[in-house]
Amino acid sequence: MSGRLLPTDPASIGGHRLLARLGEGGMGVVYLGRTEAGSLAAVKVIQAEYADEPDFRARFRREVEAARRVTSPWAVPVTGADPEAAAPWLATAFVPGPSLAEAVADHGPLPARSVRVLGRMLGAALRQVHATGLVHRDVKPANVLLAVDGPRLIDFGIARATDETAITSTDLVVGTPGFLSPEQAEARGAAVGPASDIFSLGCLLAYAATGRPPFGTGTTDALLYRTVHDEPDLDGIEAEDPAGAEGDTAGVGLLTLLRLCLAKDPADRPTAEQLGTVLLVEDAVPEGGRIDWLPDDVVRAIADRSAAMLALPDIEPTVAEAPAHDSASASTAGDGEPPSPGRRRLLLASGAAVLLAA
């Protein structure tokens, strides 16, 4: 969801006219921006006080480099960035659909086939992530956006190259409790490799299938303990036979898949490559932009939000206030007089209102 811009927000960043706020965290703000060509983008801007810290700027620079290395159709692409700016920023293609977390919260768990197809597409995204030598380390429902042609994996803010030393402390738990691996929960550092993302994907798919995290809710310490020591809660997921009339070529059932992904030992988990070549071979990725693998109510939610966003490029751009003119210069301005502050506020409010309606 989005919210209106605040008076302290900039009018533009890196050639993007800012239209609304998409979200805010402890380190910065994500805006909805529009380029001069009319393309929409999610623009992540880091607060200046954090950008002044050399370690933090190094982490952000690494985020930009990591995101640019991933070219999967199921991962959101980078469209621009400036990690050296006073307020570093990163722009990615804007996906108007809801996150998986929103879709499940609003419409309930997904059918087993939907979850299997989702797993295949996200497995393909992770296959590309891992092929470039990266580990995402924060695969969770909020970091998967649903678009008209499939999901998009977003946010490489804590991704790490498998052949590099992490900048973060070795005893720091990195990730989202409830959707991280046992090796992340125990802060094993270099042991957090591609198999960690597969465990997180298993948590995400279990959430999509049941509407609840597989290790429950509660305090961070409780979630970390359960992740390391307890078996996941997969109640309600039937051990179906996906092969049917196709023999044994359809891969494994959803329950079996989740148990494999959620193995405590990283060596016992499948790879992202195996998800698409062995385990989910009959769950084809949608073609031609079809999304009939999703329930109708989720399809309508994606379509409604996408249709509303398509109108945004027609919003009249806001105009920055010009410097004050003396009487002499004003007399020669002619028809080029800038809009009044009141008109500028009206234009800003109009853009935000359309976004809130969406």
Q: Are 297 and 237 in contact (CB under 8 A)?
A: no
Distance (Å, rounded) from C-alpha 89 to C-alpha 30?
A: 9
**Which of the following is catalytic: 55, 82, 106, 138?**
138
The residue with tokens 């051990």 is: 239
Distance (Å, rounded) from C-alpha 169 to C-alpha 157?
A: 16
Rg (CA), the chain: 23
- Pick the closest to residue 135 from 176, 173, 190 (CA basis): 190
Task: Copy the structure tokens of residue 54.
Answer: 């050399």
207 phi and psi, to 5 degrees? -65, -45
List, in sequence order, every residue forming a beta bridge with 12; answer none if it has no partner: 17
Helix 254-261 with 194-210: angle, nearest 10 deg: 140
Could you list the beta-strand ranges (E) of 148-254: 150-153, 160-161
DSSP one-letter code for 279: I
The residue with tokens 């109009």 is: 350
Single-letter amino acid code for the residue at 26: G
Q: Distances from the Cα of 86 to the Cαs of 23, 49, 53, 158, in angstroms?
A: 20, 9, 11, 21
Q: Are 168 and 184 in contact (CB under 8 A)?
A: no
Q: Are 211 and 102 in contact (CB under 8 A)?
A: no
Residues 6+ apart with CB under 8 A from 279: 251, 252, 257, 260, 270
DSSP one-letter code for 96: -
Does the active-site annotation cover 233?
no
What amino acid positions are annotated as catalytic residues? 138
